[in-house]
Amino acid sequence: MKSYCGRTATAIILYSVDKVLLIKRDTLPFRGYWALPGGRMELGEVVEQTCVREVREETGLDVEVVYKLGDYHEYG
């Protein structure tokens, strides 16, 4: 699928009661850095769908959105 206008989505994933899921990046220039899961939105996706898809692709874990804190939009 094609990415949607370069927009990206990131999620804070509660992995257990007191743990948050972080992803160790393997792509340049962020190789070796820890980050929140997320990635480029594909055409027709909403933020929640992007985050669920990216977590599945990066970790193999099936997660679902049960609560959304909000959206942040940066224009430029």
Tens of pLDDT, residues 16-47: 778 788 777 777 777 788 888 778 888 888 88
DSSP of 30-74: STT-EE-SEEEEETT--HHHHHHHHHHHHH---------------
pLDDT-based confidence at 6, cuts 50/70/90? low
**What is the rounded average pLDDT for all residues in the chain?**
77
- CATH no. for residue 53? 3.90.79.10
Structure confidence at residue 72 (pLDDT): 66
Structure confidence at residue 15 (pLDDT): 75
Number of domains in the chain: 1
Residue 17 within any structural domain of the chain = yes
Residue 66 within any structural domain of the chain = no
Residue 65 within any structural domain of the chain = no
